[in-house]
Chain A
Amino acid sequence: MVVMDEAFSLFVRFVAPFVWRSETKTIKKFLSFSATEAGSALDMLKAAELEKDPRRRRLFFRHALDEARHSNYFRDQAKNMDPDFTGREGKYNLIHATRQNLYQNLCLTEFMAFVYIAEKRGESHFRSLMGHFKDRAAIHDMFARIVKDEQFHVRYSKRLLDEWSQEGRASEVKAAQRKILLNRAWGAWRRQGRRLGDLTSRLVLKIAYFIVVPPFSLMQYCLQRNPPSGWREAEQTTLNAEEIRRMY
């Protein structure tokens, strides 16, 4: 995993000049980071709400507040960089976020493994960007503050996983980490598959539309009476026990 993180960090540094090539791109990117962080905040807050262990609940809650603060950092940074800010304040007031319901969909060990892996990746990503923005003090400092928080998230999640390993659940922890890593790859594969499937089905349906529909359409055109308008008296006034069983 360390090798993968290093590779990811190298990749981020390599593509950074392209990804962050203009102020407009940077503002857009910061707004998207802001939305992601806000989404993480909602997920961590839900975890805090549902978790029963007081220690973990407190950790999740604090993590949620950190993510919410990061979201605000990115939003405010985007706002400060926008020269046309006056007159469109609304754009930066509320960052829309989506919750992924991770805590509900994963078991606790998997959830912690997810937090550990995602935060480690995030820390590495933001550290690389800190380096990229070393000449822009405000952005550099912002990333430095975020990296510090991310380091803590990595530490606490690792500590919990380590504690469970020491309690004799090492294989479960390892399996959870493996599953999360595989899930990420599997998720990416499925997303691509879905895209391809969607494209294919659209193509097939488009062809079907122009081959299958025309004769029926022509038939309907020939048989067509005036299209229905005005009141239609009810042919059948109620729905009985037999009719409610039908899908038509």
Chain B
Amino acid sequence: MKVIGISAYFHDSSAALVVDGEVVAAAQEERFSRIKHDSGLPVQAVKFCLDYSGLSIDDIDHIVFYEKPLQRFERLLVTHLSEFPKGSAQFVSSMGRWLSRRLWMKNEWMKQLGCRADQILCSEHHLSHAAAAFLSSPYHSAAIVTADGVGEWATTSIYRGITDEAGSRIEKLKELVFPHSIGLLYATITSYLGFEVNEGEYKVMGLAAYGTPRYLAEMEQLCTVHDDASLVMNMDYFCYHWHPTRAFTPALERLLGPARNPGAKLTLPAKTEDDRRYSDIAASLQKFTETYMLKLVEHAHKITGETNLTLAGGVALNCVANLKLLKEGPFKSIYVQSAAGDAGGALGAALYMTHVIGGIPRQPRETHAFLGASVDKGEVVRFFSDCGVPYKQFDNTTELCDAVVDRLLEGEVGAWVQGRFEHGPRALGARSIIADPRRSDMRERVNRKIKFREEFRPFAPACLTEEFNKWFILPDNRVEYMTPFMCCVAEVSEDGKRMLPATTHVDDTARVQRVEPSHNPLFHRLLTRFKERSGVGVLLNTSLNLKDEPICNSHGEAFATFMRSEMDFLVVENCLVTKVDCQRLSREGYRD
């Protein structure tokens, strides 16, 4: 059975191809279109999946959309009826979109993808999240908790997933519905703090570490949490359900003080009263979210009786909250899939059709995230040769790793482009910027001169599995499923704090990636060589992109990013390019 899953029309459009239960390819549209969080139909991502597998669209049995469009439309209509006449502006913009395009989704797909109407199916938003989490997890049975902004109606759901002799099943147990949503609370405060929704949530998480949660009472005023982990938003403070551009009302500013201007400078540790207030609000929101998520998973544990938990939805990407669940939660093991947000919905829709409805047997096992497009070695060499870019080609990977380690030890920062790119928002060693984490100045340098982003944002360490417990602390050493995808922070050990200043956040945690040789052998070898030379099997690892741009896909995009920033070197497959050699190129320009 060949199934394509598609998520689209909201943010992070994506496509995934599953053939007889194997995930063959999965990619976000933004990697091809170069539009950050691209929300369009993922035509190029679908084309990539088909090209990669050598299939045509006619060979595909089913194309599954990750949600029920008419249920989402119903929510919009009902909300507009109940909010009349406040929501006229949002009505005009959203109805314009729906009437011109989304209601005729099947026609657009047939035209753009060349598929037939009978191939198109529609899953449910939270069910797709749940399927992505459970069906790609290593568990035979698990509780599944999904929490995001909103799907059709649901904002938070609890499922139970089972794989046994009878097949795989995912049963919905209960759900919270719009407008009561922990994801929308987080998004609203993100917007209040001057960051972009669906993009700035990571920044709020980073900012939270600088503050103290002195606004918890105010958070409780915004949102009441009951003993059964249900929550009710106080809608006096929110207008995301009817306002086209604003998520909060003036009442929120009366409660928390004036909102931060998106362009305003934020200095941390806070020097002004306003900056202190913003970081304290972020800390309070984070604390509130952590407490709520803990309550939620405790409730899920109570009603399912399961010992394993899989998490999905945008809130599952809150890696700080995930640590709390691991430390204080009732579950023995927790799994978060690499693309836990909407991009993963495509994968979930395809997996649900394959295993649950299609009945294809499932083998629970740990999966990897390297499902995107790769770079052709020969093409890279031809590109550099034809363009006159000075490069050095290495015959074996040990020499390549040694040359890279030499440069890292000298304090250089470089791009590392190898194999297929990652599915999901994190760079895991296929499209990464790497640096020596032992240098205390490295964080500021990479933030300011290379990524051009806010100085307070932390960097993640990539760590050899065998070294994990030396530098990081997780309760009962429960590292096995949480960390390959950078979905959980860990406390940094005393040695770690001393040796890894560039990747240790201000609250002494790090969003660590555990590197397995079976997932990414070359990156593992690089870390091993770095350990042999420096005594530390850890590298600073951040995504290969500049601020507000998608992560690079091809060698040309990697080269463009390299030239536009102050990176010192670029490694693409077995070729090494240095900035010193390239500076001549950019200075001279073209002459006859």
A contacts, CB < 8 Å to B: 38, 41-42, 45-46, 48-50, 54, 57-59, 61-66, 68-69, 87-88, 90, 93-94, 96, 98-99, 101, 149, 152, 155, 198, 201-202, 205-206, 209-210, 213-214, 216-217, 220-221, 224, 227-234, 236-241, 244-248
Q: Decide: B171 and A238 in contact? CB cutoff 8 A.
A: yes
Q: Decide: A49 and B555 in contact? CB cutoff 8 A.
A: yes
Kindly state the separation between the CA atoms of A41 and B585 in the bound complex, as whole angstroms.
14
Query: Does B256 lie at the interface of the complex (its beta carbon under 8 Å from any beta carbon of A)?
Result: no
Query: Interface with A: B91-99, B278-286, B504-512, B525-533, which one?
Result: B91-99
Within 8 A of A (CB), among B537-592: 546-549, 554-557, 559-560, 563-564, 585-586, 589-592
- Give 8 A-B pairs besides A65-B585, A238-B170 with Cβ atoms closer than 8 angstroms: A49-B555, A58-B386, A96-B548, A96-B549, A209-B88, A229-B230, A237-B172, A247-B70
Q: Decide: A45 and B228 in contact? CB cutoff 8 A.
A: no
Q: What 7 pairs between A and B have smallest CB-CB spacing? A: A49-B556, A248-B70, A62-B590, A61-B387, A217-B84, A234-B172, A94-B452
Neighbouring A residues of B105 by C-beta, 8 Å: 247
B contacts, CB < 8 Å to A: 33-35, 64, 68-71, 74, 78, 80-82, 84-85, 88, 91-92, 95-96, 100, 105-106, 121-124, 127, 169-177, 180, 226, 228, 230, 232, 265, 352-353, 356-357, 382-383, 385-389, 448, 452, 546-549, 554-557, 559-560, 563-564, 585-586, 589-592
Nearest chain A CB to B67 CB, angstrom units: 10
Neighbouring A residues of B592 by C-beta, 8 Å: 152, 155
Nearest chain B CB to A241 CB, angstrom units: 5
Chain B: CB-nearest residue to A149: B589
Q: Decide: A217 and B556 in contact? CB cutoff 8 A.
A: no
Q: Decide: A238 and B226 in contact? CB cutoff 8 A.
A: no
Kindly state the separation between the CA atoms of A144 and B69 in the bound complex, as whole angstroms.
55
Chain A: CB-nearest residue to B556: A49
Kindly state the separation between the CA atoms of A90 and B264 in the bound complex, as whole angstroms.
11
Kindly state the separation between the CA atoms of A216 and B82 in the bound complex, as whole angstroms.
9
Nearest chain B CB to A179 CB, angstrom units: 23
B173 CB contact (under 8 Å) in A63, A69, A234: A234
In the complex with contacts A229-B232, A247-B70, A248-B71, A58-B388 CB distance below 8 A = yes
Which applies to chain A's interface (DSSP): helix, strand, loop or mixed? Answer: helix
Kindly state the separation between the CA atoms of A42 and B383 in the bound complex, as whole angstroms.
15
Kindly state the separation between the CA atoms of A237 and B159 in the bound complex, as whole angstroms.
9
Q: Decide: A217 and B81 in contact? CB cutoff 8 A.
A: yes
Chain B: CB-nearest residue to A96: B548
Kindly state the separation between the CA atoms of A74 and B174 in the bound complex, as whole angstroms.
57
Kindly state the separation between the CA atoms of A68 and B555 in the bound complex, as whole angstroms.
17
Neighbouring A residues of B169 by C-beta, 8 Å: 238
Kindly state the separation between the CA atoms of A4 and B247 in the bound complex, as whole angstroms.
49
Q: Decide: B586 and A231 in contact? CB cutoff 8 A.
A: no
Give 29 A-B contacts (CB < 8 Å), ordered by A residue.
A48-B387, A48-B556, A63-B590, A65-B589, A65-B590, A66-B590, A94-B547, A94-B564, A98-B34, A101-B33, A149-B589, A152-B590, A155-B592, A202-B96, A205-B92, A206-B92, A213-B81, A217-B84, A230-B226, A231-B175, A232-B174, A236-B172, A237-B171, A237-B173, A238-B356, A239-B352, A244-B353, A245-B121, A247-B68
Which has the most chain A C-beta neighbours within 10 Å: B81, B172, B226, B353?
Answer: B81
Neighbouring B residues of A217 by C-beta, 8 Å: 81-82, 84
Q: Decide: B81 and A220 in contact? CB cutoff 8 A.
A: yes
Nearest chain A CB to B353 CB, angstrom units: 7
Nearest chain B CB to A107 CB, angstrom units: 18
In the complex with contacts A46-B556, A247-B69, A240-B357 CB distance below 8 A = yes
Neighbouring B residues of A233 by C-beta, 8 Å: 173-174
Neighbouring B residues of A99 by C-beta, 8 Å: 34
Q: Decide: A209 and B356 in contact? CB cutoff 8 A.
A: no
Nearest chain B CB to A43 CB, angstrom units: 10
Nearest chain A CB to B448 CB, angstrom units: 8
Which has the most chain A C-beta neighbours within 10 Å: B80, B82, B177, B560?
Answer: B560
B556 CB contact (under 8 Å) in A45, A68, A214: A45
A209 CB contact (under 8 Å) in B33, B91, B174: B91
Kindly state the separation between the CA atoms of A50 and B555 in the bound complex, as whole angstroms.
11
Neighbouring A residues of B69 by C-beta, 8 Å: 247
B230 CB contact (under 8 Å) in A98, A224, A231: A231
In the complex with contacts A48-B387, A54-B386, A65-B586, A228-B127 CB distance below 8 A = no
Q: Decide: A234 and B387 in contact? CB cutoff 8 A.
A: no
Nearest chain A CB to B129 CB, angstrom units: 13
Chain A: CB-nearest residue to B83: A217
Chain A: CB-nearest residue to B585: A65
Q: Decide: B357 and A241 in contact? CB cutoff 8 A.
A: yes
Neighbouring B residues of A38 by C-beta, 8 Å: 564
Q: Decide: B174 and A93 in contact? CB cutoff 8 A.
A: no
Neighbouring B residues of A229 by C-beta, 8 Å: 180, 230, 232
Q: Decide: B387 and A41 in contact? CB cutoff 8 A.
A: no
In the complex with contacts A239-B127, A244-B123, A206-B88 CB distance below 8 A = yes
Nearest chain B CB to A193 CB, angstrom units: 14
Q: Decide: B84 and A61 in contact? CB cutoff 8 A.
A: no
Chain B: CB-nearest residue to A238: B171
Chain B: CB-nearest residue to A49: B556
Nearest chain A CB to B379 CB, angstrom units: 8
